[in-house]
Chain A
Amino acid sequence: MEHVGSSFESEERRLLGIFVPAERPDVPGCFQEHACLCSGDGFFDIVVALVLAVLINNAKLSVLWRFIYFAPVVTPQVAIGTIWGYLYRPNNGLFNSILRLFGIKPIYWLTDPNVALWSIIITAIWAGIGGSMLIITAGLKNIPQDYYDAAKIDGAGPFRQFFHITVPLLSPTLLFLTATGFIGAWQVFDLPFTMGRNAPARSVMTVSWYVYETAFQSLRMGRASAGAFLLFCVIFGFTLFILWLFRRGGIKGYE
């Protein structure tokens, strides 16, 4: 039965003249890649954005800095993927050229299966910092100055102020960012799709990419629908989990 099905499939594909990649990615595989992408992006994005937002908060020319950091957010993701694809080129891409100047061996950013995912995470962080930073900045503005004044009188330095006032009082904002970031990341498509097409064995394939490719290139609508539904289940479960987290974090943050 299995055999009949598969031969029919290949016949169908032959008739339609569709190219199907030999190594078809499996669903668990892309969920795994995707989870890694999500957590890497979600975590580092928030950490970097938090540090930068605190640094920029009362800096001179803060509007200018914010504008610069926000620029990638309003740039289409496809354009970002394309630019970074060129920057990551193995031989004469900008990054490898810079590395060569310092005498470091070139890194195969997008073609080394161990590195490709991280390259995309770096790009995603670059593209996402601005948005997270704005939200964190808004959160920072809501922390009354009194706390910092009191801490200064008690002799707390900037680092202690950061860890004992800023971070705890920002926890609702940070939780919010984690939640939205992770849910957004589960739907990510453009960056891996535009940058990862040359990655070996599809090491950066995401679920949405899988759904898209199965549906519109292999024309396997049923399988693609199943993938999409699975994705929905994961996001739904994740949302419930974050809701639960929110309930704890939200209330704890104000007690």
Chain B
Amino acid sequence: MNRKKVIRIVLEIIRYVIIIFGAFWMILPFFWLFSASLMSPQELMSDVPKWLPEKPQWNNYLQVLKRIPILTYYKNSLIVASSVTLLVLLTSSMAGFAFAKLRFLGRKILFSFVLSTMMFPVFIFLIPVYYLMKLFGWLNSLSVTHCPLCGERIWNISDETVHTDDTRRTVGLCSAGRCEGIQDLHMDHLAFDKTSFGNACDTHIHRPMEFFLVAADSYFNSTKTHDLARRYIPTVFGVLHGGDATLNLNSARLSSDTDGRRISVPAKVLHSRFCAQRLWKLVMKELTEG
């Protein structure tokens, strides 16, 4: 009996050691980023690893604000994120409502068509959308970043549609009994909301949040024109350059680093991930119900 207790305690200790060890590595890059932002270039480049700066260089932050139009980047991000969020919510909740509640001819075909757009990789749309924007004469303008583009909007609509459709069906499923993977995911949303955003588990409360996160991350639009002027860069680049600037504060190459050359980074993995999740949720449901 006593021996069993000892083994249990040892196992518990091992468990927490593993958890804390993992957590340490998860936090480390973030901690290092913050610490490095307060270091001088000499400290940063020294051979002996430094965990904390001897004298915090708060001036670095001031320099970033001075040298890089980072506030403009933030403004751009805010504009992109809020306009995308608003437009997507508007269009996709209408589409979602139509697909979920209305019965009309060709609903299934249309829905599966919308759904299938989620399977396409973003990179398939990259070139057509570029040409489309060229056709509209929107290259090198803020509308490119503002306007959630056709392909993207379809994605988002289908995303929301699936979700609306899904919520409706999940309610039915819940009462049916034990859950499948679909509900796991729904639970996942609940868990996520509970821990992160209070009790915002209602679709229309947490969706904007999610979209906002995604949109703020979506530097995709702005990059189809890789010669974009600096003022159209959303924050992700700002963060990139901000990070660089803090690190290479003494480098004279700063101005050449922030020209248009390094701005061309497309893709929005996070979003495709959300979309893929939705898709599989639906696929699983179709399979397990049928």
What is the interface of chain A, defined by CB distance below 8 A to chain B? 51-52, 55-56, 59, 63, 65-72, 74, 76-80, 82-84, 86-87, 91-92, 94, 97-98, 100-101, 126, 129-131, 134-135, 137-139, 141-142, 158, 172-173, 175-176, 179-180, 183-184, 186-190, 193-194, 207-208, 211-212, 215-217, 221, 224-225, 228-229, 231-232, 235-236, 239, 243, 246-247, 250-251, 254
Rounded to whole Å, the gap between the CB of A251 and the closest CB of chain B is 8
Rounded to whole Å, the gap between the CB of A123 and the closest CB of chain B is 9
Closest B residue by C-beta to A85: B243
- With a cutoff of 8 Å between Cβ atoms, the chain A residues found around residue B36 in the complex are 86
**8 interchain residue pairs of minimum CB distance:** A97-B49, A138-B187, A189-B267, A138-B188, A172-B181, A176-B181, A187-B121, A138-B184
Inter-subunit contact A250/B26 (CB<8 Å): no
Inter-subunit contact A176/B22 (CB<8 Å): no
The answer for the CA separation of A135 and B206 in the assembled complex, in Å, is 17
Chain B interface, >50% SS class: helix
The answer for the CA separation of A135 and B190 in the assembled complex, in Å, is 11
The answer for the CA separation of A187 and B119 in the assembled complex, in Å, is 11
The answer for the CA separation of A92 and B18 in the assembled complex, in Å, is 28
Q: Does B88 contact A (CB under 8 A)?
A: no
Q: Does B171 contact A (CB under 8 A)?
A: no
Interface residues of B in 162-185 (CB under 8 A from A): 178-181, 183-185
Rounded to whole Å, the gap between the CB of B51 and the closest CB of chain A is 9
- With a cutoff of 8 Å between Cβ atoms, the chain B residues found around residue A56 in the complex are 19
Inter-subunit contact A92/B47 (CB<8 Å): yes
Q: Does B120 contact A (CB under 8 A)?
A: yes
Rounded to whole Å, the gap between the CB of A224 and the closest CB of chain B is 6
Closest B residue by C-beta to A185: B269
Inter-subunit contact B184/A139 (CB<8 Å): yes
- With a cutoff of 8 Å between Cβ atoms, the chain A residues found around residue B287 in the complex are 243, 246-247, 250-251
Inter-subunit contact B121/A231 (CB<8 Å): yes
Inter-subunit contact A188/B280 (CB<8 Å): no
Interface string of B110-123 (1 = CB under 8 A from A): 00000000011111
Inter-subunit contact B266/A189 (CB<8 Å): yes
The answer for the CA separation of A194 and B119 in the assembled complex, in Å, is 25
Inter-subunit contact B121/A235 (CB<8 Å): yes
Q: How many A-B residue pairs have CB under 8 A?
A: 206
Inter-subunit contact A187/B267 (CB<8 Å): yes
Inter-subunit contact B123/A212 (CB<8 Å): yes
| Known A84-B29, A142-B178, A212-B123; contact A135-B188, beta-carbon cutoff 8 A | yes
- With a cutoff of 8 Å between Cβ atoms, the chain A residues found around residue B48 in the complex are 97
Inter-subunit contact A225/B127 (CB<8 Å): yes
The answer for the CA separation of A180 and B272 in the assembled complex, in Å, is 10
The answer for the CA separation of A210 and B279 in the assembled complex, in Å, is 26
The answer for the CA separation of A4 and B209 in the assembled complex, in Å, is 54
The answer for the CA separation of A148 and B185 in the assembled complex, in Å, is 23
The answer for the CA separation of A82 and B237 in the assembled complex, in Å, is 11
Inter-subunit contact B284/A176 (CB<8 Å): yes
Inter-subunit contact A94/B49 (CB<8 Å): yes
Inter-subunit contact B183/A131 (CB<8 Å): no
The answer for the CA separation of A231 and B243 in the assembled complex, in Å, is 33
The answer for the CA separation of A106 and B224 in the assembled complex, in Å, is 39
The answer for the CA separation of A92 and B46 in the assembled complex, in Å, is 7
Q: Does B136 contact A (CB under 8 A)?
A: no
| Interface pairs (21), CB distance under 8 Å | A51-B18, A70-B196, A71-B30, A77-B270, A78-B265, A92-B46, A94-B28, A131-B273, A138-B188, A142-B184, A179-B280, A184-B269, A184-B272, A184-B273, A187-B269, A189-B266, A190-B267, A212-B266, A216-B130, A216-B226, A251-B287
- With a cutoff of 8 Å between Cβ atoms, the chain B residues found around residue A225 in the complex are 127
The answer for the CA separation of A208 and B121 in the assembled complex, in Å, is 9
Rounded to whole Å, the gap between the CB of A34 and the closest CB of chain B is 12
Closest B residue by C-beta to A207: B123
- With a cutoff of 8 Å between Cβ atoms, the chain A residues found around residue B46 in the complex are 92
Q: Does B255 contact A (CB under 8 A)?
A: no
The answer for the CA separation of A69 and B18 in the assembled complex, in Å, is 13
The answer for the CA separation of A65 and B23 in the assembled complex, in Å, is 7
The answer for the CA separation of A215 and B121 in the assembled complex, in Å, is 15
Rounded to whole Å, the gap between the CB of A249 and the closest CB of chain B is 10
Inter-subunit contact B19/A65 (CB<8 Å): yes
Inter-subunit contact A101/B16 (CB<8 Å): no
Inter-subunit contact A239/B119 (CB<8 Å): yes
Pick the residue among B28, B123, B191 that contacts A231 (CB under 8 A).
B123
The answer for the CA separation of A251 and B124 in the assembled complex, in Å, is 33
Q: Does B33 contact A (CB under 8 A)?
A: yes
Inter-subunit contact A224/B127 (CB<8 Å): yes
Interface residues of B in 239-283 (CB under 8 A from A): 239-240, 243-244, 247, 264-267, 269-270, 272-273, 276-277, 280, 283
